[in-house]
Structure 1
């Protein structure tokens, strides 16, 4: 008669494996059998017997009920008195002299991921962090891809990469979040490049710039000749000797033209083209170098502490391009500056400006050096690097202190995955405001009406607003209370009747705004929350409000939504458009 053991693998997606051990003598053979069974499931095809650990459950984990079995198995493993791992050379008939115990788990299977789950078991925050970490590793994983030079020279390769659901790089097509909102050193670089007059340079700095200027304006027979002419000048201008044509065997043997490092961490990477229009985009190639580097397994241990900020430099003939990038799962690249260097009537001013640009790059390199020293010591909070760390436009402004907790979808729903901000116009997060220890929603968007929000917050028709200000990256940062409620859109999805208080309160909000000559402009269902517990209504989106007859709708307005007549991209905002939305809401009520 066959003897079965109830083996259970409490992975993220758990597996129950009954194993007939009639012909199995040793634990080692049982491991091989379990490996074979797991390989029948696609998600476990890569698992090896050597990756697995077996524990005898000793009647500590009943099979029923199914819905709690996984957590009970993990809790059993978490107990210090339990968790005695079976040795490969142990006899199964000695371990189970009386056979299995009916209705109980006999063997608990664990791998490194399951054992990692035991840390902070039962802590919802830890569970969320673990899910995000898993999603991060999956997102950053480097699949087979062409070399950077092949990539930038082949439009078909670019199309294949960028037209997918999750392209390796967000750079222009598709666009992504400004990289500078994640890293203060990069934000400072952008600010300096936008305000070069604030940078003081020496005559030596100007001499380096003049030398580079002359080389950039010259003609060379090929890229190697151009590189030879500029590399010493650039090393001097940046204040550090770079690695030129360094082959990175651990990164598909890519060979960036120039790179500057903090030991294992990339600070700046440079690519060069001899002539405009030939052999692709130098800055794109630098970005692809960066992707090839940060996606390597050697950086996995740092991903929860670091977003790998880097400066990208592209030189094509007499054109200098500067960009920055971060890796927060997706790689976001932001172009900061393009300079066409010409020895013309304005050459003197242009040389001084270039000296200031080089000075800004050198300062950024120094700041990134300091940042990566901290990364090596893993001093930041786990996964805080995946959330924005913005820099105010006004240096005298103090941003609110936040502890980020969760990503939110565009509809404001918590999600346990990496957010893809491709072609998005805003980003939302849940955080703890340390000043109050309360949950808040943090939003980044290009347009916002603080006035409209505060007017309605005073009337308790919008969440309390704690902060609204501009940050580097040309965005607004908004911090508001997180409020309970269900959107009208969700109520409709759930086929829940719309309470009459909804249009009543929205009409009240519109009246307050209109009395101040403000048009809300975006009273769509997702932007209106209803709380059944308090029978209250709040508006939660103030990206669009503007002055009646003066301000305009965004050029990106989606025409396919349900709008009043006269609403369209860049059309003038009118009060009657809000009134139309109020009537629409009234029509939704029974």
Structure 2
């Protein structure tokens, strides 16, 4: 592929990741064209050749033969090959005459919006809540959940927990369809555990408590610390170490049960339900696996056969121990297990350089004890209920189902479905497991129980409710119905809050497919930004997905509203 004799323009072959590998396409460019303009040309060229649209487009420089396209790995957002908007193309292709005509130079990562199929199949689009296909979508969601969970559970019979925790076997699992969501690798990270059961938020909040612990508890702590610092020669003695550790843990946490080959110890409620799961290694590196991964594998297998699996999200505290090191994790079982650390790996011993750490270690053990008691109560209550009274919908939604309105009244709601869940088509294009139904973001469509009014429920780490209310008063943002950041005693944990707002009849700009937008859209956006700037507020995440195009009853676009105030902040103050 060489430059034209008449000008300095040249051609770049482009390929949309996940698309048909036989259909790369060519875009004619000039060296001085910047990447932002090139991106628009890529979209225009692709959409002129297909009936589909591209959204959320990112470009990467590659060098790949056509036969390699089907097996390309997912590009990383932090990849050094990512094209920067302001750069001219000559930065990336300084010698156009050396470009190979039989290879692809640009990898396009984007959501492919299928416009040749009914819009009801595009789950990433934010539709009207009263769409006739809503019930079908909900049934599809439930069916996908059940199939995914069944597929995961069936795969567990392949090997034991200890074998599954070995690095090579764990890598095989995480590269396949039946991976767990434990953050290994990064794209296999699940939603925050605090959304699914209060025990995790309580654990994290209790860690920050300064309430004194009883002296007797400290006596047991010191005894356990001294034992944990002992050194054992090899894994042969690990049984002795496990027995010693279990004995010391029982003084702190209550009776633990030996569970055969895996896990090393468990604590259960009186009528079923796993409250604690413990995995122990003699030292870091002994046993050939990470005890936190083995604890996760044990969690999957003990719950697989539990009669409570279909009644709850199976919340459990995991304790991973390697010699004098310990990590506490939480786990829930959605369509697949979600495992997340609640603490770092802790030195469970005496440290002369940080003598005050003993108080934090003691606090961690006390939090485990409190979590065990909370889960025992939860599971005992769960098993006392008639199974016929359980909802038909699986436990795929967060546990909060009410908020306090401006009059101090409790308002109950029912979740309908995640707002940002990929459809099977989109999932396939992104090369994720087609069975995974975990939402990309913790944002949900719901309905008020008393009126059926549609609402949006989202869970955030931070939120600028002042900015939201400022624009809502002018009709430039959805009405804010509940601000969890203002309710210190009604939070999911120390780092998460619930936000409830009205549901907007429309579609976000990132998923808009249609004619040129009316002037009222840009006018509304400019007015909204002007109001925020006058209040010395910066809207830190102004992107197409955060601009809602408002539609009237006939589907005509009548304006725009800003959403997502997570990154709003005072100028020179917010971070």
Choose 1 or 2 for highest CA Rg: 1
- Number of the residue aligned with 1:81: none
* 2:170 pairs with 1:158: yes
Q: What's the CA shift string for 1:208-257, capped at 9, x where partnerless?
A: 21221111011123321211222222122112x2112x23xxxxxx5211
- Number of the residue aligned with 2:238: 223
Relative to structure 1, is the Cα distance of residues 261 and 486 closer, same or farther in structure 2, using a 3 angstrom cutoff?
same
Match of 1:308 among 314, 319, 333: 314
SS at match of 2:521: helix
Do the aligned partners of 2:200 and 2:493 also contact (CA within 8 Å) in 1?
Answer: no
* 2:295 pairs with 1:272: no
Give the C-alpha shift of residue 391 in structure 1: 11
Relative to structure 1, is the Cα distance of residues 285 and 391 closer, same or farther in structure 2, using a 3 angstrom cutoff?
farther
Do the aligned partners of 1:208 and 1:355 also contact (CA within 8 Å) in 2?
Answer: no
Give the C-alpha shift of residue 126 in structure 1: 7.1
Give the C-alpha shift of residue 258 in structure 1: 0.6
Match of 2:561 among 526, 535, 538: 538
Within 1, Cα distance between the matches of 2:531 and 2:451?
29
- Number of the residue aligned with 1:167: 179
Relative to structure 1, is the Cα distance of residues 411 and 260 closer, same or farther in structure 2, using a 3 angstrom cutoff?
closer
Within 1, Cα distance between the matches of 2:562 and 2:368?
44
Task: Please report the RMSD computed on the Cα atoms of aligned residues, expressed in angstroms.
Answer: 3.3
Q: What TM-score comes out, normalization by structure 1 length?
A: 0.62
Do the aligned partners of 1:181 and 1:472 also contact (CA within 8 Å) in 2?
Answer: no
Within 1, Cα distance between the matches of 2:437 and 2:361?
37
Match of 2:455 among 416, 437, 440: 440
How many residues of Structure 1 are paired with residues of Structure 2 in the alignment?
407
Within 1, Cα distance between the matches of 2:435 and 2:184?
23
- Structure 2 residue runs of 5 or longer lacking an equivalent are 1-131, 403-407, 428-433, 486-491
Q: What's the CA shift string for 1:135-183, capped at 9, x where partnerless?
A: 22212222154322223322x2222222346522324533222212211
Match of 1:147 among 143, 147, 160: 160
Within 2, Cα distance between the matches of 1:500 and 1:473?
43
Give the C-alpha shift of residue 400 in structure 1: 5.8
* 2:325 pairs with 1:319: yes
Within 1, Cα distance between the matches of 2:410 and 2:493?
12
* 2:310 pairs with 1:330: no
Within 2, Cα distance between the matches of 1:487 and 1:412?
17
Do the aligned partners of 2:415 and 2:444 also contact (CA within 8 Å) in 1?
Answer: yes
Match of 2:396 among 386, 405, 409: 386
SS at match of 1:329: coil
- Number of the residue aligned with 1:572: none
Give the C-alpha shift of residue 309 in structure 1: 0.3
Relative to structure 1, is the Cα distance of residues 549 and 140 closer, same or farther in structure 2, using a 3 angstrom cutoff?
same
Q: What TM-score comes out, normalization by structure 2 length?
A: 0.64
Within 1, Cα distance between the matches of 2:133 and 2:381?
28
Relative to structure 1, is the Cα distance of residues 436 and 547 closer, same or farther in structure 2, using a 3 angstrom cutoff?
farther
SS at match of 1:483: coil
Match of 1:484 among 501, 505, 516: 505
- Number of the residue aligned with 2:20: none
Relative to structure 1, is the Cα distance of residues 152 and 355 closer, same or farther in structure 2, using a 3 angstrom cutoff?
same
Within 2, Cα distance between the matches of 1:125 and 1:289?
37
- Number of the residue aligned with 1:285: 294
* 2:539 pairs with 1:520: yes
Give the C-alpha shift of residue 380 in structure 1: 5.5
